Structure 1
Amino acid sequence: MAVDAGLIEWVAEALAPIGTVTSRRMMGGATLYCDGTIFAIAFEDSLWFKADGESDADWDAAGCARFTYAKSDGTIGSMNYRRAPDDVYDDADAMQQWARLALAAGARAPAPRAKRKR
């Protein structure tokens, strides 16, 4: 299933007061950035916000599940992303509140390592 383009448009519209949202397609989904900081992924019709150890308690309190996926060896993997609360899909203030938490986690994340040349 493809990423919901309308979802990405909504995120960009709702977060316009915070910054410019851009996206990059990745593994059947899209990675979302706000002014260059990664803060979310969109997969199918769902939005997943970046989380970390500092923000996990907030996500847990809101009942936001961790992003999990099936690995090729049959085990389950997880990533530091949390399912967006339902109200972000139709409330710009809620979108901004949760996106700010995700942006803070994105800002704290270590810079990606440079790819090694062969």
Structure 2
Amino acid sequence: LFAAFGPVSIRRMFSGFGISVDGVNFALVLRGAIYLRADADSIARFAAEGAGPFQYQTKVKTVTVGSYWQLPERLYDDPEELAEWAGRALAAAQRAALAKRGRARKPVTKKAATKKAAAKRRTRSAQAT
């Protein structure tokens, strides 16, 4: 199924397993179902097959994870097409990982720390007099 991807890692994740290539998670196996990574380019394809996004229940609400969609049932009997869908899921996961890495993080400024230190010094000097 994933032979074309090279080495695949399978790790415990939540109450199931995460499947990844080169540290990029592209599939989940949870509650007896496979969920593949999806993005704006592939969600319509999952929806057209009648598949839904991964959901879980908390004490107060149902949480929908829109980035993972259940593998359509018919693909369990078609390994070649399943491999194609898995390849698209890996590509979606890689795009998401690149976008995440590409976002510039704001550098931490020392301004706030400087203000606190200055206020502390003023307080100490006022107490000393």
Larger Rg: 2
C-alpha distance after superposition, 1:7-38 (max 9, x if no partner):
xxxxxxx1112322211101111111134321
C-alpha distance after superposition, 1:46-73 (max 9, x if no partner):
100011222211111222111111123x
**Greater per-residue helix proportion:** 2
Match of 1:78 in 2: 64
- The residue matched to 1:23 in structure 2 has which SS? strand
- The residue matched to 2:40 in structure 1 has which SS? coil
Whether 1:26 and 2:36 are equivalent positions in the alignment is: no
Q: Matched residues in 1 for 2:9 and 2:76: separation?
A: 18
Q: Matched residues in 2 for 1:46 and 1:18: separation?
A: 21
Corresponding pairs, count: 98
CA apart distance, 1:82: 0.5
Q: Structure with the greater relative contact order (CA < 8 A, sep ≥ 6): 1 or 2?
A: 1
1:1-118 pair list within 5 angstroms: 14-72=1-59, 74-79=60-65, 80-109=67-96, 110-111=100-101
Q: Matched residues in 1 for 2:74 and 2:3: separation?
A: 18
Q: Matched residues in 1 for 2:4 and 2:28: separation?
A: 20
TM-score of the two chains, using structure 1 as the length reference: 0.73
- Percent identity, aligned pairs only? 33
- The residue matched to 1:32 in structure 2 has which SS? strand
TM-score of the two chains, using structure 2 as the length reference: 0.67
Uncovered stretches (5+) of structure 1, i.e. residues with no partner: 1-13, 112-118
Uncovered stretches (5+) of structure 2, i.e. residues with no partner: 102-129
Structure 1 stretches of at least 4 aligned residues deviating more than 3 Å after TM superposition? none
